[in-house]
Homo-oligomer: A and B are copies of this chain.
Amino acid sequence: MTAPTDQTGTAAPRTLYLEDVAVGDRFVSGTHAMDAAQIKDFARQFDPQPFHLDEAAAEDSLFGGLAASGWHTAAITMKLFVSSLPMADGLVGAGVEVTWPKPTRADDILHVESTITEIKPSRSRPGRAMVTVETLTLNQEGEPRQRLVSRVVMFSRTQG
């Protein structure tokens, strides 16, 4: 069985088990509108560097303007990912790789597009698999802000 691809990001997708997904399945999230206040608020708490906190200081940095922390982009990505790929037992990552080709800006409206790239059934535990998902975070122009590769555990319906 193949999972329905949520292309709109508006429908509430049903809970997904291992049987519901296949390599190549693609999930598109809803959107998150960034703004300068959110960028500075996250930075004050977690990444207090001048180019994330202050427009004037950011002008003189290698970003040439206020830029969101990569970890802020990652956190928003998780929010959009969780709502667009509702795995039955939760989305629990064993490990991830993240790259940030360009930082998120204050006027970006972000969404994420996730594709299942590999499903590796567990040999020792039937009804369980390690699923690799590639998640691109894009702005309203389709410009990539983050590429995330996650390895997540999925369970079959009968093991749920």
Contact = CB atoms under 8 A, between A and B. Distances in A.
A62 B89 contact: yes
B100 A98 contact: no
Interface of A: 42, 45-51, 61-62, 69-71, 74-76, 78-79, 82, 89-100
A41 to B, nearest CB: 10
Contacts of A46: 75-76, 78-79
Given A96-B97, A97-B96, A98-B96, A90 B49 contact: yes
Contact of A79 (B48, B74, B99): B48
Given A62-B90, A70-B96, A71-B71, 5 more contacts: A47-B82, A48-B79, A50-B90, A69-B78, A95-B98
Contact of A74 (B48, B71, B99): B71
Nearest to A96: B98
26 contacts: A45-B75, A46-B76, A46-B79, A47-B78, A48-B79, A49-B90, A50-B90, A61-B89, A61-B90, A62-B89, A62-B92, A69-B78, A70-B96, A71-B74, A71-B75, A74-B74, A75-B75, A93-B100, A94-B100, A95-B98, A95-B99, A95-B100, A96-B97, A96-B98, A97-B97, A98-B98
